[in-house]
Amino acid sequence: MPRRSFAELLRSGRPALGTWSQIASEECIDMIGAAGLDFTIVDCEHGAFG
């Protein structure tokens, strides 16, 4: 799948599909990335240890 910048995605007018993660482990983010979503927000401020 070709990669486009997030700005290009927003300009295209199609909905952006993404997720929010409070798990900042590299492995989890890699798995989320493999799901083909347009974006991921990684929240390290809120959660069990923050």
Residue 19's beta-bridge partner residues?
A: 40
Q: How many CB atoms lie within 10 A of CB 18?
A: 14
1 lies in a domain? no
Q: Is residue 33 part of a domain?
A: yes
Q: Is 30 inside any structural domain?
A: yes
Per-residue pLDDT band at 44 (split at 50, 70, 90): confident
* SS3 of residue 2 by DSSP: coil
DSSP code, position 15? P
Task: Please write the tens of the pLDDT for every residue from 3-37.
Answer: 778 889 889 999 989 999 888 788 988 898 899 88
Q: pLDDT band for position 2 (50/70/90)?
A: low
- What is the count of structural domains for the chain? 1
Mean pLDDT of the 30-46 span: 86
Does the residue 49 lie in any domain?
no
Residue 17, in any domain of the structure? yes
- Euclidean distance between the first and the last CA atom of the chain, given in angstroms as a whole number: 36
**pTM as predicted:** 0.64
